[in-house]
Structure 1
Amino acid sequence: MAVHNHQPVGNFEEVLEKAYQESYLPFIEVLQSHPQIKVSLHYSGVLYDWLEKTHPDLLERVAKMVVLGQIEPLTGAYYEPILPFIPDSDKIGQIESFSLRLQERFGRRPRGMWLAERVWEPDLPKPLAQAGIDYTFIDDIHFKAAGLREEELLGYYLTEEEGYLLKLFPISRKLRYLIPFAPKVQEVIDYLRSLATPSGERLIVLGDDGEKFGLWPETYEWVYQNGWLNDFFTALEENRDWIRMWSSEEWMRENESLGRVYLPTSAYQEMAEWALPAKSIPLYEELITRFKNGGELEWFEGFLRGGFHRNFLVKYPEANLMHKRMLRVSEKIARLSDEHGGLLMDEAKRLLYQAQCNCAYWHGIFGGLYLPHLRRAVYNRLIEAELITDELSHTKAHWLDKEIADFDRDGNPEILIDSPVINLYLAPHRGGSLFELDCRKRGLNLLDVLTRREEGYHREIPSLKEEETQLETKSIHERIKTKEENLEECLIFDRYHRASLIDHFLPPQTTLREFSQLEYEELGDFISEPYAHTMNREGNSFSVVLVRTGKVKIQGVDLPLLLKKRLKLVEGEALVEIGYELLNLSSMPIEALFGFEFNLSPQIRGGEGPGESKDIDLLKMEDKESGLRVYFRLEQPGSLWQFPIFTVSQSEKGFERILQANNLFFHWHISFRPNELWKTNLTIEIANAYSF
């Protein structure tokens, strides 16, 4: 029995305390009252550090149970990254640093580890073995995808990469769904009885999240108040004449492996489904249902594979941007590690490792990427880690670095500008948009937002009733979901990536409601099309000029228009000066609403709130959590539409509406003749960028 406990980097203190009171503490209390029950126990480094700080007595109890042989501690990558997502050096560094922590606490270095999200790729045995790992646990579906049958998974296997060996224990999906959700404990015992042999040479493994024992919806009452877990442990003890609890290391000492196996890339079955494009999920579910209804799923499920976990980085461009930001910081740290050691580099690595926590990089039944506070935590650690490396790399107090590189690995170059005060990243090929603006001393990305996109589960929402209930406790993968009132109204899916400095031309009669509901006509072709760019350094300042000759549709005719936007940064200043020029290249007049759109992180709010403001030349926005203030100053007073961007996503509690961005659309009613030039300027000032 392997139990994995984890909380994301950046999660709320009250959530961790609730998890402790309703899951982590009562589980150990029940386990301690049944000394014959053995568990391989994993706390992620995130959770371990929190427990050590707030509830060290729990770790002391665990340590005593380790000495008694009841608990076998498992290590893992310290901050629970999906290992294939991070460089090998970081894999090894995370595992070794956490193994050392556990060795200090428990007096022994763990040989087994928990693999985050049980995501497997065939090259993992090498870095794991190099980090001192002897064995791990992964889902039975991985083995079935390699052609093995259910009855062949009652033990452990060997695998290797370049001769580096690793032992693999298959996790039973059947047990994951039975424990602790079987209506009667006897149902689990009967299933175990069906597998038993007189010789007792079979091993079946339960490996799953510890939060299912009390923290998942409705499980606290079921598992503890109704006594399911205590009854289950009692039943195991009462049947000890034919059921024996083993630690992993005990089993390996007394039993040989079932052989060698090479497994394909895989994750647990539900995650493989979530990684699919939204439009493919109903097809996959229909396929699974057909085999299930035909009684053939057990035979063929290993070959009915879903998507590939790395495609979360395709499905969610925001996850990809964080991921590539993480790789960039990791590369900087790796380059500097030989030249600069000591506490500063150790701190940079720690921050990088924290930013590699998997939760914000994907989305499934839990909120994940959809939770703004998790994304915020990732960016915070990345920005702070990179600031350490950049300060070590520069001797001057004030500097500006520029780089043109394919940052997001889409085949097109981005413009990356760094200073000690701010980072500014532009995508010329995507509407000349601004996709990251960091206040470095605050560790804050002002443009950390999420685009509204269709999810496979959105089709379920119209058919649900508010606050539906059920009579029995089920796995979160099987529960009937609940929903807030009027969620259907929030099912709006964006036509373009929600970045900033997005240039719009709209019909003059367009309203705020039409714009916010995506019920308007876009007259221009500037939103997502490429802009040419040039860069210039002038003394202590640096400028980027983005230019596009596009078209504006007026009365059904495409009219040529040149749009130029110039961004200027000055060394040592938390200031961005932005100038716009529009030139009518046609022989006809152009009349339209022209404006540029900003999408600010959901924690940044201000102005008069949602609605329309006219003749505005100054807007103050503030991040309440950090105290950061941002001022938008317009040289030419204009109108402002301001509205929230909400997504609808699923979580373990059901469907929920989440604020993902605050949209600002500064605009003007322009009417200019052939060859006429229209100009305006905007200044963005971060007022207290240097304060902590």
Structure 2
Amino acid sequence: MKKVKLLFGVHMHQPVDNFGDAVDKAIELCYAPFFATMRNYPDFKFAVHSSGWLLNEIKTKHPKIFQDMEYLTKKGSIEWVGAGYYEPVLSAISSKDRRAQMNKLSSYLKKNLKSAPRGAWLTERVWESSIVPDLAACGLEYVVVDDYHFLSSGFDNSAMDGYYESEEGGEKIALFPISAALRYALPFFSVERSIEAILNCAKSDNSAAIIFDDMEKFGLWPKTHEWVYEKKWLERFVEAVLADERITTMHYKEYLHTNRSKGLAYLNNTSYFEMGEWSLKSHQNLALESLKKSVGDEYFKKEGVALIKGGIWKNFFIKYRESNHIHKRMMHHSLHQERLKKDALESLYKLQTNDVLWHGVFGGLYLPNLRDNAYSYLLEIEASLAKEKPAFSFFDIDKDGYEELKVLTKNLSLVFSSKYGAQLIEFGSLEKLFNWQNTLMRRHEAYHEKILHPTPKIYKENSGEDEIATIHNDEVAINENFKDELIYDWHPKYSFIDHICSDEFSFDSFKRASFNEVGDFANQPFEFDEEKMTFRREGGVYLDKKYDTSLTKKYGFGKSSISLDLSTVSDFTHKLHYGMEFNFHFAHPHKVLINSQALGNGVVLTDIESIVLKDDYTQKSLKISLNKKCTVYAYILNTLSQNESGFELTAQQISLLFSIPFLSSLDLTISLEVCDV
């Protein structure tokens, strides 16, 4: 009789400082019932990884769950698995920070659960061999990755029933391949089919059936709480495993030390297949999906998996410049962390939390609260460095070949981009730890095609009690009204954006980004004169031909204000329309008042020289004043993104346009001031 060693592991994580109700929901539906159930079966050995922040939240606010964890640990049921304390993607932070984060979690586990981890969970299973020396230096002997990591690197699917050895610079690490078949089976299949899936992993006696997956699948994902707990799937599954003499549960570290490896392995820089898809630009994502379908499922699984693949995780920094800005601001402080005090260093580690930096079937970057949290940690660092007098520096923050002007006043952290129109790309309050420039542009995403070009639904026969759908194959309801929300921006949505239009702007043309732009200033580089502190572009107005046009922007700074002297001169002598665009992020955009009016579906103000945006969240107002009367258009900008529950319309920011007609030349003085409400 062929026997199999079941290496069962679960990973639990919530974004650092996530909404309290979101954490409470996960506690109630998933974490609490999971450990309460497993407490009844201490003979079932399994592995657990939890991000340090979540584990401490449970210990502090939900001691009963932590007591269950302690009990199962003392009984020898749980093997605790390490990683970065605040759940960073290890390959996306420095070696020094990797070691600090992993040691921090290991120390927490040793102190609070008397358990020293020997293995590591890789956040989002992002593998790069450069992390191996740091894993080894932290005393970690193995990591878990997907079997896809191996298959996409040319390994055979029949040899995924054990672990492999790898090395980098002579430092070695063991690699356990997680079974995709088990990830899609547990807990979605019936207990009987789940047992069958485990046994099918055994290629020889004492083979390993390897599963390490999100605990949130056991109660938090749609439909799973009823399935796993109310219908007692987990209870029946554990009992069935313990009763089956063909299956022995075992800890990863135990299997590692009692079984030889299956050989040497070098893996691609990769994550799971879906992550590779998501990291691509939308047209590439669709092309990859089409290619995979064209070769057929059988060929893909047998041969194509090693040849057909998406991008790497770090592509998200290319796909989303907003993500890249957060990451590179973090990396700059990481490289100069010797100047940071203890609290600021802790803020740096929190800033390395992965969730805000990417987007797939989960909200990630599209969730404003996650970006708000990230910027609050960044601004905590900046506040620790601020002085009475403004500090100026001009260097390439984003690592894209173009310098940014960074200004740190007593109350504000500001960044201006030379690549994108001398625009304000960071507008952070050191007092409120809030970035009003935490904006997001509207992009085409591959999943928008489900709305733009819906295909007829194919209804599958109900499988009854045998299985439930996962979020990867569950039907998603399509709201036809979403089509009207699919508007795509042709330039980043920052502030102090210069538009020159041949026709008069309208509310609709501004909202839909469809006005007839004839200038080349809104998304093009400016030169910066450090001595004069002036941005300038020698550009053009394009109508029947190019008309040489220059635009100069000179910023000034107070403790809580920005001033701008702007001058533009064009060889085109007929009437044009200049528009200055601002985009400001607010925690509650629908509650913001503009000149005491609610924005509702948008507002148009005429003959205006100043506006005041009153923010209930920060209890601050943003006041914009001009030296000329203008027309102001304002609306709440929404993005349409996908999450585990379907499609979600999210208010990201308030977009404003100040429109002024001019002939040949225009001089403006503009101020942006932060005031108390």
- Residue 491 of structure 1: aligned partner: 486
Cα displacement (A) at 1:520? 1.6
Task: Give, in whole Å, the separation in 2 of the partners of 1:399 and 1:520.
Answer: 41
Say whether the 8 Å CA contact 1:273–1:306 is kept in structure 2.
yes
1:206 equivalent among 190, 205, 211: 211
Task: Give, in whole Å, the separation in 1 of the partners of 2:548 and 2:212.
Answer: 62
2:556 equivalent among 521, 546, 568: 568
Task: Give, in whole Å, the separation in 1 of the partners of 2:515 and 2:418.
Answer: 25
- Residue 423 of structure 1: aligned partner: 413
Matched, 1:633 2:625: yes
1:581 equivalent among 567, 577, 582: 567
Deviation string 1:95-133 (CA, Å, 9 cap, x unpaired) is 101111111111132112211011000111101111221
Matched, 1:51 2:58: yes
Residue 31 and residue 291 in structure 1: after superposition, are their counterparts in 2 closer, same or farther (change >3 A)?
Answer: farther
Residue 299 and residue 561 in structure 1: after superposition, are their counterparts in 2 closer, same or farther (change >3 A)?
Answer: closer
Matched, 1:159 2:160: no
Cα displacement (A) at 1:420? 2.8
Say whether the 8 Å CA contact 2:36–2:65 is kept in structure 1.
no
Q: Which amino acid aligns with 1:353?
A: Y
Q: Which amino acid aligns with 1:329?
A: H
Say whether the 8 Å CA contact 1:466–1:483 is kept in structure 2.
no
Deviation string 1:153-185 (CA, Å, 9 cap, x unpaired) is 211122121222212111001100011112x22
Task: Give, in whole Å, the separation in 1 of the partners of 2:68 and 2:297.
Answer: 47
Deviation string 1:190-218 (CA, Å, 9 cap, x unpaired) is 23333446x73201111110001110111
Task: Give, in whole Å, the separation in 2 of the partners of 1:468 and 1:285.
Answer: 18
- Residue 13 of structure 2: aligned partner: 6
- Residue 266 of structure 2: aligned partner: 262
Instruction: Give the alignment of 1:182-581 within 5 angstroms.
Output: 182=189, 184-196=190-202, 200-239=205-244, 241-294=245-298, 296-333=300-337, 335-336=338-339, 345-388=341-384, 390-391=385-386, 397-462=387-452, 473-536=468-531, 544-553=533-542, 556-570=544-558, 573-581=559-567
- Residue 597 of structure 1: aligned partner: 581
- Residue 108 of structure 1: aligned partner: 115
Task: Give, in whole Å, the separation in 2 of the partners of 1:463 and 1:234.
Answer: 47
Task: Give, in whole Å, the separation in 1 of the partners of 2:199 and 2:317.
Answer: 43
1:67 equivalent among 69, 74, 90: 74
Deviation string 1:204-241 (CA, Å, 9 cap, x unpaired) is 111110001110111111211122222211221221x1
- Residue 342 of structure 1: aligned partner: none
Q: Which amino acid aligns with 1:626?
A: T
Cα displacement (A) at 1:419? 2.3
Deviation string 1:633-681 (CA, Å, 9 cap, x unpaired) is 22222211001221111100001111122101112122x3x6xx53221
Residue 516 and residue 83 in structure 1: after superposition, are their counterparts in 2 closer, same or farther (change >3 A)?
Answer: same
SS at match of 1:310: helix
Cα displacement (A) at 1:65? 0.6
SS at match of 1:181: coil
1:683 equivalent among 650, 671, 677: 671
Cα displacement (A) at 1:456? 1.1
Cα displacement (A) at 1:553? 4.1
SS at match of 2:209: coil
Task: Give, in whole Å, the separation in 1 of the partners of 2:277 and 2:80.
Answer: 31
Deviation string 1:225-271 (CA, Å, 9 cap, x unpaired) is 122222211221221x1100001122123212222222121101111
Cα displacement (A) at 1:72? 0.9
SS at match of 2:143: strand
SS at match of 2:484: helix
Residue 48 and residue 623 in structure 1: after superposition, are their counterparts in 2 closer, same or farther (change >3 A)?
Answer: farther
Say whether the 8 Å CA contact 1:291–1:297 is kept in structure 2.
no
SS at match of 1:35: coil
State the TM-score, normalized to the length of structure 1. Answer: 0.91
Task: Give, in whole Å, the separation in 2 of the partners of 1:296 and 1:422.
Answer: 53
Residue 207 and residue 614 in structure 1: after superposition, are their counterparts in 2 closer, same or farther (change >3 A)?
Answer: same
Task: Give, in whole Å, the separation in 2 of the partners of 1:58 and 1:600.
Answer: 41
SS at match of 1:641: strand
Task: Give, in whole Å, the separation in 2 of the partners of 1:104 and 1:192.
Answer: 35
Q: Which amino acid aligns with 2:315?
A: N
Say whether the 8 Å CA contact 2:166–2:264 is kept in structure 1.
yes
Task: Give, in whole Å, the separation in 1 of the partners of 2:146 and 2:127.
Answer: 9
1:606 equivalent among 581, 593, 609: 593
Task: Give, in whole Å, the separation in 1 of the partners of 2:411 and 2:392.
Answer: 14
Identity %: 30
Matched, 1:95 2:95: no
1:174 equivalent among 165, 178, 181: 181
**Greater displacement, 59-68 / 153-162:** 153-162
Cα displacement (A) at 1:40? 0.3
1:660 equivalent among 646, 652, 657: 652
Cα displacement (A) at 1:336? 2.3
Paired positions, count:
657
State the TM-score, normalized to the length of structure 2. Answer: 0.93
- Residue 340 of structure 1: aligned partner: none
Deviation string 1:54-89 (CA, Å, 9 cap, x unpaired) is 102211210111010111111210010111110010
SS at match of 1:327: helix
Gap regions ≥5 residues in structure 1: 338-344, 392-396, 537-542
